[in-house]
Amino acid sequence: MDISVIGSGYVGTTIAACFADLGHSVVNIDVDADVVEAINAGDTLIHEEGLPELVAKHAGENGTGRLRATTNYEALLETDVTFLCLPTPQYDDGSIDLSIIETGAEQLGETLKGKSGWHTVVVKSTVVPGTTDDVLTPIIESASGRTAGEDVGVGMNPEFLREGTAVTDFLDPDKIVLGADDERTRRDMQEVFAPLEAETGAPVVETDTRTAEMIKYANNAFLATKVSLINDLGNICKEFGIDAYEVADAIGLDDRISEQFLRSGVGWGGSCFPKDVAAIIAAAKANDYEPTVLEAAVELNDKQPERLLELLDSHVDVEGERVAVLGLAFKPGTDDTRNSRAIEVIEGLQARGARVVGYDPVATENMRERFPDVTYAESAAEALEGAVGAVVVTDWDEFAALDDGFEAMKELVVVDGRRIIEPTPKITYEGLTW
């Protein structure tokens, strides 16, 4: 099939390259000329494992020719289906800002005036239930002069890609969710995903656009709440001197619970869980419903960094002293510091008058933008030198091998928020939930 993908962020570029890999002919449309130039040279500015290889395989001089990029919306006229992968940032009240995707939908609709016959549009961006039907479809209809279900279709296909493993998550999905409100749109979406379904046998969930939108929020809200629940139980374990990881291993054997997302600690961050949970809470409240459990999940998540610091307080007074923060990224395998728990940890240490020294193998520059006054070390060992305490915020593997590294500390107090450090008799070790 001929597919256009509007937006070249980590989702847009990943799906464009993966669709090309599945045999489709794909054009990726983006306003940023540098991004477009990179793709056309067989390269990408997005750091995702396996993505540079896929882009090189299908774009550029030595590629299969199945992937190209352009800044020109007219390119979508040569395609059957257009995926909208534009960002939906967050307002202060948690609700999502649709202005970028609305502008994209309008431009897409305007461009469609130049095409005769049917065109299918698929919303890939995460949007609250009803957005496709109530907001985006009317914009596309009025800009294109078309009628949904007659000569244009608007479907919704949520993404479940994790940062760092987006390519494998796409090519080996747990499920494929196709939301459509008419048969023709549904058929086009089935055709796009048929090669993936055939290759992987992944279950295909066919539903309407509103339900597809809700499935995305329910998925992320459930997982975030699962982590908050294991953190709540983990905090109880700590009070009783019980190891929450031993408990999690046991309850994870129950198929109804499953072993995944049971790692307790300093909580969840990133660009997805915090934003999506906030957005569905805001949407629920706008409909006069109080989502009690989701609000509690956020409240608990917000408190974990302070619990970590209180454990440190119980061993040392950090005022005027050097404290090492090990890990700045919201999870290992990424340089993304958005909503990282390290932010609250650094703020809490600064409020205590500590001299913070941060270390992360890849995320330092992103954290430096947020905290230019913090000292950043080149290695974990350097961060630990002369520190009265170390707090672990990201479970990078290299922290498991620090061993003697702690001996350069002024006081050997380590508070682990991710269960990654191997405690030795020489260090005073506190696990957040064990």
Q: Which residue numbers are catalytic?
A: 272
Q: Which stretch binds ligand UGA (CB under 6 A): 52-60, 79-87, 272-280, 368-376?
A: 272-280
Q: Which of 52, 60, 179, 265 binds ligand UGA (CB under 6 A)?
A: 265
What is residue 207's three-state secondary structure? strand
Residues 6+ apart with CB under 8 A from 104: 6, 7, 84, 86
Asked whether position 338 contacts ligand UGA by CB under 6 A, the answer is no
- At 155, give phi and psi (nearest 5°): -110, 175
Asked whether position 160 contacts ligand UGA by CB under 6 A, the answer is yes
- Choose between 58 and 331: whose C-beta lies nearer to ligand UGA: 331
Cβ atoms of 419 and 245 within 8 Å: the answer is: yes
Cβ atoms of 3 and 83 within 8 Å: the answer is: yes
Asked whether position 431 contacts ligand UGA by CB under 6 A, the answer is no
- Choose between 6 and 300: whose C-beta lies nearer to ligand UGA: 300
| Per-residue x/- track, 274-313, ligand UGA (CB under 6 A) | --x-------------------------------------
Q: Are strands 81-84 and 413-416 parallel, antiparallel or unpaired?
A: unpaired
Shortest Cβ distance from residue 51 to ligand UGA (Å)? 14
Q: Which of 54, 3, 15, 21 is nearest to 192 (CA)?
A: 3
- Choose between 14 and 79: whose C-beta lies nearer to ligand UGA: 14
| Per-residue x/- track, 202-241, ligand UGA (CB under 6 A) | ------------------x--x---x--------------
Asked whether position 88 contacts ligand UGA by CB under 6 A, the answer is no
Angle at 86 between CA 192 and CA 190, to 5 degrees: 15
Q: How many residues bind ligand UGA (CB under 6 A)?
A: 21
Shortest Cβ distance from residue 252 to ligand UGA (Å)? 10
Helix or strand holding residue 357 (H, E): strand 355-359
- Choose between 21 and 163: whose C-beta lies nearer to ligand UGA: 163
Instruction: Fill in the amino acid letter for 106.
Output: E
CA 79, distance to chain mean position in Å, is 29
Asked whether position 367 contacts ligand UGA by CB under 6 A, the answer is no
List b or e across 248-277, with b for residues whose CB sees 16 or more CB atoms inside 10 angstroms: beeeeeeeeeeeebbbbbbbbbbbbbbbbb
Asked whether position 162 contacts ligand UGA by CB under 6 A, the answer is yes
Asked whether position 272 contacts ligand UGA by CB under 6 A, the answer is yes
* Helices and strands (DSSP H and E) totals, the chain: 15, 14
- Choose between 211 and 375: whose C-beta lies nearer to ligand UGA: 211
- For ligand UGA, the binding residues (CB under 6 A) are 159-163, 220, 223, 227, 261-263, 265, 267-270, 272-273, 276, 330-331
